[in-house]
Amino acid sequence: MKHGLSLALAASLALLAACSAAAQPGGRLAPRAATDDMKIQHDGRERRYLISDFSGGRPAPVVFVLHGGGGHPENAQNMSQFDVIAAREKFIVVYPGGTGGMPGGRLLTWNAGHCCAYALENKVDDVGFIRTIMDQLVASGRADPKRIYVTGMSNGAMMSHVLARELSGRIAAIGPIVGATFGDEPAPNGPVAAIIFVGQDDQTVPASGGPLGGATKRGGRSAEDRNVAPDIDQASYWAKANRCADPVESRDTKGKAVELRWEKCTSGRPVHFYRVANNGHAWPGGKAGRAEADQPTPDVNASEMMWRFFTANPKP
């Protein structure tokens, strides 16, 4: 399966990210006038990304938003609704596209180490691709190098962990959404602040770890994909890397989320973890990728919470 996805695996990826279908134009609330469709050559491939620049020409924070497995840049733009925040707060949002073996620029994946599909099997250099965009934005004077952040959903969340691990000198903080680690990650090159969201009702990336639900239900899985670790391992990994003391646990008074906070970290880089109630495999407070996908809870707005966390944690 080096040059394309089987139908079974394609269906699995669509379920994994809940985002294989293009967003309906009527569902997009974010401003579009500032969005440019860009292409660059990297590692022998043409790579595509969207960039929404609301900075007004001054060096600004940059948030990279990675789609899930089976998604595409427009899909990440619609689900996260980050353009709404960027228009208000005057920063830049980049929506990179993964790679895939199907025509039409859809069903794209990221090479997140042990997942997923085409990008993993073809050993695609996604770290180098995104590093190139970051470096170009900094060199052009558009990006504030101390305020570069990464978020993503599902396979994109997995990729955000990889980017933070390998590009810790460039990335100030990450915000993975309904993602996972695998339990065998090496230590990162340096500390990175992290705010992590998982869905209490997620049946696709199971809270207790194990096989991805999409692959289990649809019967299609890449032989190179591996089981995921329990959801809390994402936070534990960064708490250890950031040299944090024990966390403080709290529950929202309205039962919206269980929260763990590692604030006492000798690195100065905190870790926040939220298990969101009434939320499955979806972006809390955002938009669903398609009508039949898990619908995100409106009670927790992950993008707004993430932005507040990001602004509080630039690189020192």
- Say yes or no to pLDDT of 270 above 60: yes
Helices 302-312 and 82-89 sit at what angle, rounded to 10 degrees? 40
**Per-residue confidence at 224, pLDDT binned at 50, 70, 90?**
low
Q: What is the predicted pLDDT for the residue at 259?
A: 92
Q: What is the predicted pLDDT for the residue at 106?
A: 81
pLDDT digits (tens, 9 = 90+) for 57-96: 999 999 999 999 999 999 999 999 999 999 999 999 999 9
Least confident stretch, 7-21, 59-73, 135-149, 289-303: 7-21
Average pLDDT on 187-196 reads 97
- Say yes or no to pLDDT of 33 above 70: no
**Per-residue confidence at 219, pLDDT binned at 50, 70, 90?**
very low
On average, the pLDDT of the chain sits at: 87
Cβ-based neighbour number of residue 218 at 10 Å:
18
> Which of 1, 225, 231, 227 is CA-nearest to residue 113?
225
**3-class DSSP state for residue 128?**
helix
Least confident stretch, 16-20, 127-131, 192-196, 225-229: 16-20
- Say yes or no to pLDDT of 11 above 60: no
Contact criterion met (CB below 8 Å) for 159 and 110: yes
pLDDT digits (tens, 9 = 90+) for 130-184: 999 999 999 999 999 999 999 999 999 999 999 999 999 999 999 999 999 999 9
Instruction: Compute the distance between CA of residue 301 and CA of residue 291 in angstroms, rounded to an integer.
Output: 20
Q: What is the predicted pLDDT for the residue at 212?
A: 87
Only one residue has tokens 């080096």, namely 2
**β-strands 173-177, 143-153 pairing:** parallel
Average pLDDT on 283-310 reads 93
**Per-residue confidence at 251, pLDDT binned at 50, 70, 90?**
confident
- In the Cβ-directed half-sphere of 40, how many Cα atoms lie within 13 Å? 18
Structural domains of the chain in order of their starting residue, each with its CATH number: 7-312 (3.40.50.1820)
Q: What is the predicted pLDDT for the residue at 237?
A: 98
Per-residue CA distances from 254 to 276, 279, 284, 285, 302 (Å): 12, 15, 16, 16, 16
Instruction: Compute the distance between CA of residue 88 and CA of residue 103 in angstroms, rounded to an integer.
Output: 36
Q: What is the predicted pLDDT for the residue at 31?
A: 52
Beta partners for residue 176, in sequence order = 152
Instruction: Compute the distance between CA of residue 49 and CA of residue 39 in angstroms, rounded to an integer.
Output: 6
DSSP code per residue over 271-290: EEEEEETT--SS-TTS--SS
**Per-residue confidence at 222, pLDDT binned at 50, 70, 90?**
low
**Per-residue confidence at 202, pLDDT binned at 50, 70, 90?**
very high
Amino acid at 135: D
Instruction: Compute the distance between CA of residue 233 and CA of residue 229 in angstroms, rounded to an integer.
Output: 6
